[in-house]
């Protein structure tokens, strides 16, 4: 009885991270039509920066949080300004390879600055597990859930209630029409990289106390986040949140009941199955995806 | 095949025959053998990336399938190395069809993510299925390849054999590119809609070329297993797939010679960098092999931003404008003389 509750907590904790990575993928996908292969590296950079600020420089959690998010946001903006923006008449293939190259640079830089080991970080509040119906839950997991809810609320408010958010949505729907309406589409691309880097950083910061971040985690986190984005329907961020939580839960259950060796593989198999059978995601139509291009 | 490519083949064969005499050291000969494996995988990948315009981030997995098929079938079931290699190639082809048929039907680069996911799964299996793959400890005692009753024991003999495979693979790829299929593939890269409008079945072409590129990778993996006689999951991680993409992209997507040059350059690069470590230390830079990923990433980024056609096309256009400039000079000179 308590087993499944324990796995559920574990699953929601992992799923929240996948959901946020998937939201980051979707933002850049909606603005540019490409998949940013460096998305997972934003998560790693956020986590590692937070480790340095809290554990080495001994800043308070709140201050370090905003500083780390700001740092990764600037990295995201620089990535767009220096590598995506200057490319004239880009093909999708070329842009994808550029993001792969940037992810290699991020990974290499993270290895040079933070070394190859994994880094411990103190929990946001006390690390004493709470007991709920016989299962234990870390207070950090509650922080993760709370911050995911805040991010989702912020996302909805930004895209529905602010002018900039509405401009970004207009660009995602029809870039040419948005330009005709006087929206600076290149600025929207920059903004999408900034926001997506920020969300990635937040995901990295909140998960680091539980998993001990190291430089090489980006690829797998990014891939599973992409899995969540595909399952939720590429470009559909609310679908991505639901799919991320679902994927995390299935993964934790499978890891608990079937085999922990193959836990990582199970999420990827689900991603492949959805990609093959329902490429439009569980919540979209597969007709739609035939027309999508990235 | 145009005359230029025949000249290219002659130069390649001459270089292959010459190298063992220039490289006395067994270690560097070994590096050249590994270079041959990379070249073989890159020729296949170039057919996919350059001609079908699709990207695969899972070719490391097909190399792993080739290597593990060869390793497992020869050590555990006592198959002959050649049949094991063929079995690996068939398995890779079947998997390529299974991954390619659903994803290549879609527009865009879903294949990239599907192959990336697939490569991660294969790597996880290689680590976790200890009864079959030996897990992280790996498989030992894989036999050497024999040819007409003659075992390829020495590094030199394996060097010739591996590069013979590269030349043969390249020749086959060139023939394909200059056939009806190759023209169809180039049309797809130019514009998929236009290609299908003139009656090319774009899906089938893309799927077939993906399967063919998987076979190239698988064979290179088998040859690798027979050369080192020992395999573990280490070299088959996702990073290796990305390095292969880097090789093809740096050399030039649009041309097989580009892929070959990219594969050779980037295979030799770690050696060059470790040789450069000593002089770099003198000027105060402590270079470690760990930094290779930064160098690879930097090269890939610069090439993709400023020379998207790759080094080969860049060199070709530079030499063209160079000759044009020379011609001008000569003509200009003759005018002055008149």
Q: Three-class SS string for B171-216?
A: HHHHHHHCCHHHHHHHHHHHCHHHHHHCCCCHHHHHHHHHHHHHHH
Mean pLDDT computed over A5-32 = 90
B82, B90 in Cβ contact below 8 A?
A: no
CA A206 – CA A194 distance, rounded (Å): 19
pLDDT value of position A284: 67
Confidence bin at A291 (pLDDT 50/70/90): low
Other beta carbons within 10 angstroms of residue B302's beta carbon come to 12
Tell me how close the Cα of A246 comes to any Cα of chain B, in angstroms. 18
Considering only the beta carbons, identify the residue of A96, A261, A269 that sits closest to B121: A269
pLDDT tens digits along A158-206: 988 999 888 888 888 888 888 898 888 888 889 999 999 999 999 999 9
A286 has a pLDDT exceeding 80: no
Task: Give the residue on B whose Cα is nearest the Cα of A99.
Answer: B301
pLDDT value of position B338: 44
Query: Domain B3-306 is of which CATH architecture?
Result: Orthogonal Bundle (1.10)
What b/e string do you get for B229-238 counting C-beta neighbours within 10 Å, with b at 16 or more?
A: eebbbebbbb
Instruction: Quote the percentage of chain B above a pLDDT of 90.
Output: 21
State pTM to two decimals.
0.87
pLDDT value of position A1: 60
B35 contact partners, CB below 8 Å, separation of at least 6: B263, B264, B267, B268
From chain A, pick out residues whose CB is under 8 angstroms from the CB of B293.
Answer: 104, 107-108, 111
pLDDT value of position B211: 94
Lowest mean per-residue pLDDT among A40-49, A67-76, A255-264:
A255-264
- Tally: H helices and E strands in chain A: 12, 2
B54, B180 in Cβ contact below 8 A?
A: no
User: What is the CATH number assigned to the segment(s) A2-124+137-287?
Assistant: 1.10.3470
Confidence bin at B217 (pLDDT 50/70/90): very high
Q: Where are the domains of chain A?
A: 2-124+137-287
A48, A205 in Cβ contact below 8 A?
A: no
How distant, in Å, are the alpha carbons of B213, B250, B260 from that of B253? Answer: 14, 8, 11
pLDDT value of position A136: 82
Q: Does A98 touch chain B (CB under 8 A)?
A: yes
Q: Rounded to 5 degrees, what are φ and ψ at B105? A: -70, -30
A83 has a pLDDT exceeding 70: yes
Confidence bin at A282 (pLDDT 50/70/90): confident
| Pairing verdict, β A130-132 and A135-137 | antiparallel
From chain B, pick out residues whose CB is under 8 angstroms from the CB of A93.
Answer: 49, 53, 55, 109, 253
CA A103 – CA B294 distance, rounded (Å): 10
pLDDT value of position A290: 59
Q: Does A287 touch chain B (CB under 8 A)?
A: no
Q: Does A156 touch chain B (CB under 8 A)?
A: no
> Average model confidence (pLDDT) for chain A?
87
From chain B, pick out residues whose CB is under 8 angstroms from the CB of A275.
Answer: 102-103, 110, 113-114, 117
CA A81 – CA A197 distance, rounded (Å): 13
Kindly state the helix (H) or strand (E) to which residue B131 belongs, with its residue range: helix B130-133
Q: Which residues lie across from B150 on neighbouring strands?
A: B147
Confidence bin at B172 (pLDDT 50/70/90): very high
Q: What tokens does B284 get?
A: 């105060």
Q: Does A288 touch chain B (CB under 8 A)?
A: no
What b/e string do you get for B118-155 counting C-beta neighbours within 10 Å, with b at 16 or more?
A: bbbbbbbbbbbeeeebbbeeebeebbebeeeeeebeeb
pLDDT tens digits along A85-102: 888 778 888 888 899 999
From chain B, pick out residues whose CB is under 8 angstroms from the CB of A276.
Answer: 102-103, 114
């Amino acid at each position: 009885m308590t087993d499944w509750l324990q796995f559920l907590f574990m699953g929601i904790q992992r799923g929240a991270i996948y959901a946020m990575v998937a939201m980051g993928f979707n933002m850049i996908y909606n603005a540019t039509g490409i998949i940013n292969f460096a998305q997972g590296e934003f998560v790693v950079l956020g986590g590692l920066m937070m480790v340095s600020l809290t554990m080495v420089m001994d800043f308070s959690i709140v201050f370090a949080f905003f500083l780390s998010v700001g740092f990764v946001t600037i990295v995201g903006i620089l990535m767009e300004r220096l590598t995506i923006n200057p490319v004239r008449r880009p093909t999708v293939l070329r842009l994808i390879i550029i993001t792969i190259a940037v992810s290699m640079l991020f990974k290499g830089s993270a290895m040079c600055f933070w070394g190859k080991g994994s880094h411990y970080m103190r929990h946001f509040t006390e690390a004493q597990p709470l007991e709920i119906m016989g299962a234990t839950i870390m207070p950090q997991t509650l922080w993760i859930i709370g911050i995911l809810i805040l991010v989702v609320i912020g996302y909805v408010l930004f895209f529905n209630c602010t002018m900039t958010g509405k401009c970004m949505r207009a660009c995602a729907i029809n870039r040419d029409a948005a330009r005709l309406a006087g929206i600076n589409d290149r600025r929207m691309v920059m903004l999408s990289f900034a926001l997506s880097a920020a969300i990635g950083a937040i995901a990295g910061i909140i998960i680091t106390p539980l998993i001990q971040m190291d430089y090489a985690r980006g690829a797998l986190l990014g891939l599973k986040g992409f899995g969540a984005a595909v399952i939720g329907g590429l470009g559909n961020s609310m679908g991505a949140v639901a799919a991320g939580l679902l994927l995390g839960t299935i993964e934790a259950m499978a890891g608990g009941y079937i085999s922990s060796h193959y836990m990582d593989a199970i999420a990827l198999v689900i991603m492949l199955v959805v990609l093959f059978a329902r490429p439009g995601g569980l919540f979209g139509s597969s007709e739609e995806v035939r027309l999508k291009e990235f | 095949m145009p005359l230029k490519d025949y000249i290219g083949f002659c130069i390649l064969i001459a270089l292959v025959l010459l190298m063992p005499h220039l490289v006395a050291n067994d270690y560097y000969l070994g590096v050249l053998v590994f270079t041959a494996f990379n070249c073989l995988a890159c020729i296949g990948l170039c057919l996919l990336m350059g001609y079908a315009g699709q990207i695969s981030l899972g070719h490391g997995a097909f190399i792993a399938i080739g290597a593990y098929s060869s390793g497992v079938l020869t050590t555990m079931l006592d198959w002959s190395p050649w049949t094991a290699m063929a079995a690996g190639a068939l398995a890779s082809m079947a998997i390529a069809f299974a991954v390619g048929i659903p994803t290549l039907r879609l527009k865009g680069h879903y294949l990239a993510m599907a192959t990336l996911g697939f490569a991660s799964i294969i790597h996880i299996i290689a680590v976790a299925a200890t009864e079959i793959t030996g897990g992280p400890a790996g498989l030992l005692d894989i036999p050497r390849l024999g040819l007409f009753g003659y075992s390829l024991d020495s590094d030199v003999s394996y060097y010739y054999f591996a590069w013979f495979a590269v030349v043969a693979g390249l020749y086959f790829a060139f023939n394909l590119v200059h056939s009806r299929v190759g023209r169809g593939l180039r049309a797809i890269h130019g514009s998929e809609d236009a290609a299908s409008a003139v009656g090319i079945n774009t899906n089938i072409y893309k799927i077939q070329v993906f399967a063919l590129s998987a076979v190239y990778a698988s064979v290179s993996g088998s040859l690798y297993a027979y050369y080192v006689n020992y395999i573990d999951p280490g070299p088959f991680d996702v990073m290796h797939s990305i390095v292969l993409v880097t090789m093809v992209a740096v050399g030039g997507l649009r041309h097989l010679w580009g892929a070959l040059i990219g594969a050779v350059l980037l295979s030799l690069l770690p050696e060059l960098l470790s040789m450069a470590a000593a002089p770099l230390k003198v000027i105060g830079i402590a270079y470690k092999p760990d930094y290779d990923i930064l160098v690879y990433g930097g090269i890939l980024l610069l090439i993709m931003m400023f020379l998207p056609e790759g080094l080969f096309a860049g060199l070709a256009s530079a030499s063209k404008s160079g000759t044009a400039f020379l011609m001008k000079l000569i003509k200009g000179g003759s005018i002055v003389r008149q």
